[in-house]
Amino acid sequence: MMQRMIISSQTICWVVVAFFLAGAPLWAGEPETSRFPLYLTQMPYEPPPPSESRGVEAKPPPESLTTQDEERLEALIPLLEGKQEFWAIGEFVYFGKHSIPYLVKALKSPVSRVRFNAVETLSMINDPSAVQGLLEVAINSEEESRIRSHALRVATRLDPNQVVPAIEVMVKDPNSTIRNTAVFESRRVHRKEVLPFIISAISDPEQYVSITARDSFWILTRFSGSIHDWEASTPEDRKEWMKEWWSWLEENQERFGESPPSTKPPRSPADLNVS
């Protein structure tokens, strides 16, 4: 009896395999066409109809705003947050420098997304007249650090000569992210007034801020000091090392600016293994 059941099971397995090989349906209701092979074919391609707007020149921005334009820009401010934010940004960019007073107003919005997008839009418009509004955001200790950092980055690229007072404030900020942003952006400011602020950050309690300050000073002056183990350094070590930078500044500040700034840090921190 057991042998007959085993033989029957083996027979059923072979039958199933045979059905698969033959392409026959194993369940009711499958159409007979499934037994035959299917072939893929490519249908004739028909290109889409040409766009009606093709060849139409973009309308230039107005030379001055009408009352309707002013109302439109005012209404765009809350739209810098939400599903239409990219469209709103594009509208502000279209109006160019006329949008700046409205975007500076947007920097004071209670919605953080609106404020961040206002900074980004001012970057796209690329007009130095927005710098002071951006710097007010950058030095505001009550603002979110990501918005403050972005505001300083944009302001520095618009006009680095205007950001020196803000860097002086930000290198003393309680937030280490803000201090690091300040000393990083200072490498784009080729003015000797910024050098003391960078040197003061070499003794920063946070190691990464100190290393950023060292690299920014090198990029501006080509001076890197003696080789130190920055990775294993303590704040007390860095306070002692800072004296080298002050000595250099006292001897060379009148010559600062004679050679172009470098674009590379003095050395990789991983290579610093001598104290």
* Amino acid residing at 77: I
Residues 148 and 186 in one domain: no
3-state DSSP of 57-75: CCCCCCCCCCHHHHHHHHH
User: Is 255 a member of any domain?
Assistant: yes
pLDDT value at residue 125: 96
User: Is 98 a member of any domain?
Assistant: yes
Q: What is the CATH number of the domain that holds 149?
A: 1.25.10
Residues 123 and 173 in one domain: no
Q: Which of 114, 138, 162 is the last residue of a domain?
A: 162
Residue range 123-181, pLDDT digits in tens: 999 999 999 999 999 999 999 999 999 999 999 999 999 999 999 999 999 999 999 99
Q: Which of 133, 162, 191 is the last residue of a domain?
A: 162
At 37, the pLDDT band (50, 70, 90 cuts) reads low
Q: Which of 117, 132, 162 is the last residue of a domain?
A: 162
Mean pLDDT for all residues in the chain: 82
Q: Please say if the pLDDT value at position 40 is more than 60.
A: yes
User: Is 181 a member of any domain?
Assistant: yes
User: Is 202 a member of any domain?
Assistant: yes
Residues 6+ apart with CB under 8 A from 253: 192, 195
CA distances from 96 to 57, 80, 92, 125 (A): 18, 16, 6, 6
Residues 232 and 171 in one domain: yes
The mean-pLDDT minimum among 27-41, 66-80, 93-107, 174-188 falls in 27-41
User: Is 10 a member of any domain?
Assistant: no
**Residue of 225 and 140 predicted with greater confidence:** 140
**Residue of 27 and 151 predicted with greater confidence:** 151
Q: What is the mean pLDDT of residues 238-267?
A: 74
Question: Among residues 167, 191, 205, which one has the least CA distance to residue 261?
Answer: 191
User: Is 237 a member of any domain?
Assistant: yes
Residues 113 and 186 in one domain: no
User: Is 102 a member of any domain?
Assistant: yes
Residues 180 and 270 in one domain: yes
Q: Please say if the pLDDT value at position 45 is more than 90.
A: no
* Amino acid residing at 46: E
Residue range 112-123, pLDDT digits in tens: 999 999 999 999
103 by Cβ neighbours in 10 Å (0-12 / 13-18 / 19+) ranks as: buried
Residues 126 and 91 in one domain: yes
CA distances from 138 to 1, 63, 168 (A): 89, 31, 12
Question: Among residues 84, 100, 110, 184, which one has the least CA distance to residue 134?
Answer: 100
Residues 135 and 215 in one domain: no
Q: Please say if the pLDDT value at position 23 is more than 70.
A: no
pLDDT value at residue 62: 80
pLDDT value at residue 150: 97
pLDDT value at residue 11: 53
Q: What percent of the chain has pLDDT over 70?
A: 72
pLDDT value at residue 190: 92
Q: Please say if the pLDDT value at position 250 is more than 50.
A: yes
Residues 157 and 172 in one domain: no
**Residue of 2 and 225 predicted with greater confidence:** 225
Q: Please say if the pLDDT value at position 70 is more than 90.
A: yes
86: domain range?
66-162
At 254, the pLDDT band (50, 70, 90 cuts) reads confident
* Tally of structural domains, the chain: 2
Residues 178 and 147 in one domain: no
CA distances from 6 to 1, 3, 9, 60, 115 (A): 9, 5, 5, 86, 77
Quick one: how far is CA 238 from the chain centroid? 30
Indicate the pTM of the whole model: 0.72
Helix axes 195-202, 176-185, angle to 10 degrees: 140
pLDDT value at residue 162: 95
Q: Please say if the pLDDT value at position 238 is more than 90.
A: yes
Residues 171 and 237 in one domain: yes
CA distances from 83 to 3, 46, 113 (A): 72, 34, 12
